[in-house]
Structure 1
Amino acid sequence: MWVSIPVSDREMEWIARIGGPWRKNRDGLFRQSNVELALVTESVWKRWHLPDGGAPILTLDTINDKELSKILAEGAQVARPTEMTEWGVPAGFVRFPSGVLLEVKPNDGGERE
């Protein structure tokens, strides 16, 4: 199975800065080897209180908080502030200009579980 998510060059730079490293292959695509595919139903989307359903959601293993602050200053926007989820984990979402949502969870030292 293959899933591609279109992002601008600038957004790919942001993604690499906050949660790299990514491999750039000869075909020009950026890849991660540890990717899990999850499909989100409309009912789950609504239950999570996400805006404008249908955007891809990117969840990274680690988030560089300093770089996240920088990309917010460069044009990304908070789509939903961090709050406790129904499964007991605090999480928020940042929207990139392309519509891609980045799931953000509080972390300590950059590592996320």
Structure 2
Amino acid sequence: MGTLDIGELLAQYGRVYRDFARSDRRHGSETVHWVDEAITSFEPDNVRSSALNLVGLASAYFLAGAPELALEAGRKAQRLAPTLTSRRIVDRIANLRRDATDHLDNCPVSLIMRREQLAELRCLR
């Protein structure tokens, strides 16, 4: 087992608070804080971790009640990942639907979730 750098440790905090926020939305802002700190601490060449955690940041923003910021974080993740062939990225994007459910009446969120679902199906072929 390798060592855990500070970015990965902060990302773990973010995941713990995300799990809390799924049952109690009051933890949403704390989730955003930790995931944002993790992304900031990654080295510039750590693109994969940054992309994975930007998806996590999108999830955190959905849970914090900020769907516009969630969509922005998701777009940043897509720009970092030239292709979405990473199984982990595909899984995390699929999990965004779970955290976006409170915002599916928001037209841009609904459209993005449908588009990502189609992209996921293409990756699985």
Q: Bin the TM-score by the shorter chain.
A: under 0.3
| Structure with a larger share of its residues in strand | 1
TM value normalised by structure 2: 0.26
Q: Which has the higher contact order (CA 8 A, sep 6+)?
A: 1
| Structure with a larger share of its residues in helix | 2
